[in-house]
Amino acid sequence: MSVNKVILVGNVGKDPEIRHLDSGVAVANFPLATSETYTAKNGEKVTTTEWHNIVLWRGLADVAEKYVTKGRQLYIEGRIRTRSYDDKDGNKRYTTEIYGDVMQLLGSAPGNQSSGGGNSSNTSQQASAPSSQVNEPDFSEPEGDEDLPF
Amino acid sequence: MSVNKVILVGNVGKDPEIRHLDSGVAVANFPLATSETYTAKNGEKVTTTEWHNIVLWRGLADVAEKYVTKGRQLYIEGRIRTRSYDDKDGNKRYTTEIYGDVMQLLGSAPGNQSSGGGNSSNTSQQASAPSSQVNEPDFSEPEGDEDLPF
Amino acid sequence: MSVNKVILVGNVGKDPEIRHLDSGVAVANFPLATSETYTAKNGEKVTTTEWHNIVLWRGLADVAEKYVTKGRQLYIEGRIRTRSYDDKDGNKRYTTEIYGDVMQLLGSAPGNQSSGGGNSSNTSQQASAPSSQVNEPDFSEPEGDEDLPF
Amino acid sequence: MSVNKVILVGNVGKDPEIRHLDSGVAVANFPLATSETYTAKNGEKVTTTEWHNIVLWRGLADVAEKYVTKGRQLYIEGRIRTRSYDDKDGNKRYTTEIYGDVMQLLGSAPGNQSSGGGNSSNTSQQASAPSSQVNEPDFSEPEGDEDLPF
DNA sequence: TTTT
DNA sequence: TTTT
């Protein structure tokens, strides 16, 4: 009886870190920035940036490893997950992450532009970037991550 | 050039706390629970609950003060906001909140049910609880689909 | 590289019609109403109702058959689909439907209310209506926010 | 008590048509394509395209007039609206449109790419494309279209 | 009528 | 730590 849905369009802050659990399951982590601009009372434009901790599993982690790079514009659909951990002093801390269920690579890679950003040398692979969201005709349910310790 | 959107349907964990800033602006805070159930490897059903810190401003805070009570089912549309604060030891901590932009009171107040939750004695005001955004349809039959092959 | 997503919270206009394709696949169709109220220039409140043609497949059609009745409040997440058909005069017509991917039964059945809507006599089955996706939280107090400055 | 929300990421099929009502209010209309790809039983990849009739009002229509061109990738958030009209034979027909409330220009204009699409000569103005979604600090409500005949 |  |  509930819904926990997040929709983000933003820019990747760092190249993803990819880990593999002992089970072999791939996990990708990276920050995604969204920005809001408003006009303050004094007429000045103010931009605030929100950083989201994105976590992707399995197939989406693989797509991230291949195609997601710093600066890339992304659409992410997922859910909010707050987990606790113990910090170095043994105190309980909380961190909130976005578990992505759908990802779309938007626009083109920043290195593709003539404006000279130039931090990417992998231009060619963008051309073959597959959609990360595929609709199967048999409507099989998306696989869960029930057995994962998160 | 970005989107930061959250859509939640869940149940209120505590009656809202209402504060008023020096400017007179009202702010409401309350936790909202969303739950997921999945079947573990051993076949057992497992439910995990996610708690969201909801923050409402101005008019929505007023609506919350009047109509939002513990147990109430809500639709919240808003955005994610992570802010930092200093804990009692002077260490920087982060907390993630959902700033609500749209709220809909769903179903009926829990005190209305015969199931005896019974933490609410304000049943009557729920009956007249106005929608915070739109009204109920009148359930007149949808017109104009008589000749359509549905 | 695209997104086609619809999120609706509304009320069911008619009991669903259930069909079974030759392949045995179940399909449910029913109208869902969403309403908007605004204040016209003359200060009068005006409500407009939008009717959505909902289409559910397979497991969701089965849930609809069991638990969705006229008047019921639903959350539907899905996508827009416009299809063409030939009308009785052989002209091409178009109809737009919402293919539901997620459904949540909200609130309680209308027959449960004391307010006398009374178009439903199947109260008892609603009481045991399971969530079509997740469970209810247990309303244990959210833990871990005692020391946070909310 | 209802929600009618659409979220689209797609490509513009034609340059927008801009009209001005007698009241001076600007209206923009254009088609937006979203595509789904799935693998059929025979292993073949099949892509289906859905065309959405986008309608933008006032300020968003002005932004569309300046920055939206054929081929452009857009994020649109809005609501579904089905309206009736009489066709040339006096029969009642229905058409479904998406009234956009938020628009984000994604990626870069197609004419910017070195791949030579080249239907756009307005490259420079993209650089100064303002965000179409501005958050004001005073949280003023978005202006409605109450007085419009739709 | 778009795009990959 | 991103982007316009």
The full set of domains in chain B, from first to last, is 6-128 (2.40.50.140)
Q: Which of A36, A50, A84 is the best residue to mutate to test the B interface, defined by the most B CB atoms within 10 Å of its own CB?
A: A50
A1 to C106: CB separation less than 8 angstroms, yes or no: yes
Q: What are phi and psi of A62, to 5 degrees?
A: -65, -45
pLDDT, position A47: 94
CA distance D17 to chain B (A): 23
Q: Which of C11, C35, C77, C143 is the best residue to mutate to test the B interface, defined by the most B CB atoms within 10 Å of its own CB?
A: C35
Q: Which of residues 43-102 of B touch D (CB under 8 A)?
A: 57-58, 75, 77, 102
Query: Which three-class secondary structure state does DSSP give residue B58?
Result: helix
Who has greater pLDDT, C113 or C99? C99
Q: What is the pLDDT of residues A127-148, one digit of tens each?
A: 223 333 323 233 233 333 333 3
Per-residue confidence band for B92, with pLDDT thresholds at 50, 70 and 90: confident
Contact list in C for residue D81 (CB cut-off 8 A) is 50
C10 to B137: CB separation less than 8 angstroms, yes or no: yes
Protein CA A98 to sugar C1' F2 (Å): 17
Region C125-148 average pLDDT: 35
Alpha helices in B96-141 (DSSP H): 123-127
User: Is residue A8 within 8 angstroms of chain C, CB to CB?
Assistant: no
Report CA torsion sign: A7, A11, A13, A18: positive
Q: Strands (DSSP E) along B40-91, which ranges?
A: 45-57, 73-86
User: Is residue D4 within 8 angstroms of chain C, CB to CB?
Assistant: yes
Who has greater pLDDT, A25 or D128? A25
- The answer to whether D142 and D134 are in contact (CB under 8 A) is no
In chain A the first and final C-alpha atoms are separated, in Å, by 22
pLDDT, position B112: 42
**Residue A29, token pair as written in the block:** 């982590």
**Residue C128, token pair as written in the block:** 């045991």
Strand E positions closer than 7 A to protein CB: 1-4
User: Residue C37 to residues B66, C12, C40, C50: CA-CA distances in angstroms?
Assistant: 20, 18, 9, 11
C107 to B112: CB separation less than 8 angstroms, yes or no: no
Q: What is the pLDDT of residues A38-94, one digit of tens each?
A: 888 888 999 999 999 999 999 999 999 999 999 999 999 999 999 999 988 888 899
Q: What is the pLDDT of residues D55-76, one digit of tens each?
A: 999 999 999 999 999 999 999 9
Report CA torsion sign: C130, C131, C133, C135: negative
**Residue A33, token pair as written in the block:** 């920035």
pLDDT, position B111: 53
Contact list in A for residue D108 (CB cut-off 8 A) is 107-108, 113
* Least confident interval from B59-73, C122-136, D45-59: C122-136
CA distance B52 to C146: 14
Residue in chain C closest to A138 (alpha carbons) equals: C58
Measured in whole angstroms, how far is the alpha carbon of residue D44 from the centre of its chain?
31
**Residue C2, token pair as written in the block:** 């695209």
Protein CA C7 to sugar C1' F3 (Å): 28
Q: What is the pLDDT of residues C69-102, one digit of tens each?
A: 999 999 999 999 999 998 888 888 999 999 999 9
Per-residue confidence band for C114, with pLDDT thresholds at 50, 70 and 90: very low
- Please tell me whether any atom of strand F lies within 7 Å of the Cβ of A112: no
User: Is residue D134 within 8 angstroms of chain A, CB to CB?
Assistant: yes
pLDDT, position A1: 76
Contact list in D for residue C103 (CB cut-off 8 A) is none
**Residue A95, token pair as written in the block:** 């961190």
Question: b/e per residue, B70-109, with b = 16+ CB within 10 A?
Answer: bbbbbbbbbbbbeeeeeeeeeeebebbbbbbbebbbbbbb
* Least confident interval from A69-83, B111-125, C54-68, D52-66: B111-125
Per-residue confidence band for D49, with pLDDT thresholds at 50, 70 and 90: very high
pLDDT, position C13: 98
Region A101-118 average pLDDT: 63
Could you tell me which of C98, C92, C116, C78 has the C-alpha nearest to residue C32? C98
C137 to B49: CB separation less than 8 angstroms, yes or no: yes
**Residue B77, token pair as written in the block:** 């549309």
User: Residue A70 to residues A27, A29, C92, D114: CA-CA distances in angstroms?
Assistant: 17, 12, 48, 21
Q: Which of C2, C8, C81 sits opposite D10 (nearest CB)?
A: C2
D2 to B77: CB separation less than 8 angstroms, yes or no: no
Closest nucleotide over all strands to A71 (CA to C1'): F2
pLDDT, position A23: 95
User: What percentage of chain B exceeds 70 in pLDDT?
Assistant: 71
Chain position carrying tokens 């857009």: D74
Who has greater pLDDT, C137 or B105? B105
User: Is residue B130 left, alpha or beta, with left meaning phi > 0 and alpha meaning psi from -120 to 50?
Assistant: beta
Residue in chain B closest to C12 (alpha carbons) equals: B139
- The answer to whether B3 and A8 are in contact (CB under 8 A) is yes
- Please tell me whether any atom of strand F lies within 7 Å of the Cβ of D6: no
Does pTM top 0.75 for this prediction? yes
Q: Strands (DSSP E) along C1-150, which ranges?
A: 3-12, 17-20, 26-39, 45-57, 73-86, 92-105
CA distance D64 to D18: 8
Protein CA B47 to sugar C1' E4 (Å): 39
* Least confident interval from A3-12, A128-137, C5-14, D3-12: A128-137
- Please tell me whether any atom of strand F lies within 7 Å of the Cβ of A79: no
Residue in chain B closest to C138 (alpha carbons) equals: B49
